[in-house]
A = this chain, B = another copy of it.
Amino acid sequence: MNPRFIVVSTGSELTAGRSQDTNSSWIANELFGLGYSVEKFVVLPDDPVLIRRELSEISVVSSTENPVLILMTGGLGPTEDDYTLEVVCELTGSTPVLNERAHDRLQALYRLRGRSFQEALATALRQVSIPSKSTVMNNSTGIAPGFWSELRPGAYLACMPGVPKEMTAMFHEELVPLIRTHFQSAKLYSDYLFIWGLSESLFQQEFIEKLDFFKAGKAIWGVAAKRGFIRVTYQSEDQELLSKLIALTKEKYGDLCTGDLFEELPALLIQKKLTVGTAESCTGGLAAKLFTDRAGSSEYFLGSIVSYANSIKENLLHVKKETLEAHGAVSEETAREMADNAASILNTDLSISITGIAGPGGATPTKRVGTVFIGTHIKGVGTEVKEYFFPFKRELFRDVVAATSLFALYNRLRKL
């Protein structure tokens, strides 16, 4: 049967508010993907008394009929602030034993750094030990191994490093198989899509609530609001139902649906051997930054002109003075010239132009804060400009506009 899942993060930097605990939501999200839901997150400082008390209180109400799995991160390092090993040994009546594989890795690392392994023995060895009554979870990306213990019948504890890279690797490589062995979970199929320009609540109201599959428990849905789009996930044991849900969504939302745009757009550009550049005003380079977030983007992204001031729009982007005077910098006409000229100046096949009012200042009698014109140019096809209105705060506005500009280009390209 499914256990209750409780995620515990330890770290004084977390409870002091100096760092943000991102491990817990990552774990909850992955567990959701496996068909499990989490009952509670707990975040504790590096304090052995508090950690011991918490683990005892959680495990004491569990039994083989009502099992609990505690997923704990942090506290496995070599410093005096790391108490996980000590606490778990105490709770399980174990002693620390050296894990050979982790020990070998550590030794190899010292050799690599040209330092004598003897030097650091005392503190370093702690982090390659696990409680005698536990199953090791190997760390493929760092030093400290994790471990899986049983605190009492039905109360399982999986300890993993707090470093996200190490934790996420260990989760997939070591923890998931252990969970599968201990608690059978039905095979779930999963698929997702992005829907652009739609809110979570509207999607729920006008789509999800009208379908019976979810009420009947035949499928699970999840939605995450991103900047400019929502990411919708469906899960079901029935693969056909899953395909049907994706099809129904596409039927309803049509062109607004994409896969992961930040993968699909680059793939399309590479496949069609097209180059792209941007001309940006209110986003100040953010669309260019989005393009170049990806390693290897030099294959298709050539450059950008950030024309924050009108002087740059005129002198560098060659937007006509008359256009700026007659229609203003935030206008369809300016966006059109920006896109046209960017493609010719940067010598690219495609271009995106963005001009809008990010606020809080800058509104005019006819144009509200949140107004933006996005132009997309395709060589040999032409330029299209669309007006949008995103009444959000400055930061959110800029994120939404930049992402939406990539979507606008993609949506034209995929239809060619």
User: Which chain A residues have a beta carbon within 8 Å of chain B's beta carbons?
Assistant: 14-22, 24-32, 37-45, 50, 54, 57, 222-225, 277-278, 280, 282-289, 291-293, 295-298, 301-309, 311-312, 315-316, 345-347, 358-361, 394-395, 398
- B22 adjacent to A39 (CB under 8 Å): no
Interface centre among A15, A345, A346 (most CB of B within 10 A): A15
Taking the closest CB of chain B, its distance from the CB of A113, in whole angstroms, is 14
- A309 adjacent to B316 (CB under 8 Å): no
Query: When chains A and B are docked, how far (Å) is the Cα of A191 from the Cα of B407?
Result: 44
Other CB < 8 Å A-B pairs besides A39-B50, A43-B43, 19 of them?
A14-B41, A15-B39, A16-B28, A16-B37, A19-B225, A20-B22, A38-B45, A40-B42, A40-B43, A40-B44, A277-B312, A285-B288, A285-B289, A286-B289, A292-B308, A295-B394, A301-B308, A302-B308, A306-B306
24 A-B residue pairs with CB within 8 Å: A16-B222, A17-B31, A20-B25, A39-B44, A39-B50, A283-B289, A284-B288, A284-B304, A285-B286, A285-B287, A285-B292, A286-B289, A292-B308, A293-B394, A295-B358, A295-B394, A298-B308, A302-B309, A303-B306, A303-B307, A303-B316, A305-B305, A305-B316, A315-B347
From B283, B301, B346, B361, contact of A316 by CB (8 A): B346
- B39 adjacent to A16 (CB under 8 Å): no
- A306 adjacent to B304 (CB under 8 Å): yes
Given A284-B301, A303-B312, A306-B288, do A16 and B38 touch, yes or no (CB 8 Å)?
Answer: yes
- B306 adjacent to A285 (CB under 8 Å): yes
The 5 tightest CB contacts between A and B, nearest first, are: A285-B285, A284-B292, A17-B29, A17-B28, A285-B288
- B38 adjacent to A15 (CB under 8 Å): yes
- Chain B residues contacting A16 (CB-CB under 8 Å) are 28-29, 32, 37-38, 222
- A361 adjacent to B296 (CB under 8 Å): yes
- A15 adjacent to B42 (CB under 8 Å): no
Query: Binding site of A, secondary structure by majority: helix, strand, loop or mixed?
Result: mixed
Query: When chains A and B are docked, how far (Å) is the Cα of A187 from the Cα of B22?
Result: 33
- B26 adjacent to A293 (CB under 8 Å): no
Taking the closest CB of chain B, its distance from the CB of A265, in whole angstroms, is 15
Closest to A292 in B: B284
Taking the closest CB of chain B, its distance from the CB of A53, in whole angstroms, is 10
- Chain B residues contacting A297 (CB-CB under 8 Å) are 284, 308
Taking the closest CB of chain B, its distance from the CB of A13, in whole angstroms, is 8
- Chain B residues contacting A347 (CB-CB under 8 Å) are 311, 315
Given A43-B41, A309-B303, do A361 and B24 touch, yes or no (CB 8 Å)?
Answer: no
Given A37-B15, A38-B16, do A284 and B291 touch, yes or no (CB 8 Å)?
Answer: yes
Interface centre among A19, A54, A303, A311 (most CB of B within 10 A): A303
- Chain B residues contacting A346 (CB-CB under 8 Å) are 312, 316
- Chain B residues contacting A29 (CB-CB under 8 Å) are 16-18
- Chain B residues contacting A17 (CB-CB under 8 Å) are 24-32, 38
- Chain B residues contacting A285 (CB-CB under 8 Å) are 278, 280, 284-289, 292, 304, 306
- B303 adjacent to A308 (CB under 8 Å): yes
Given A14-B41, A359-B295, do A316 and B345 touch, yes or no (CB 8 Å)?
Answer: yes
- Chain B residues contacting A21 (CB-CB under 8 Å) are 21, 25, 41
- Chain B residues contacting A14 (CB-CB under 8 Å) are 25, 41
- B305 adjacent to A306 (CB under 8 Å): yes
Closest to A285 in B: B285
Closest to A284 in B: B292
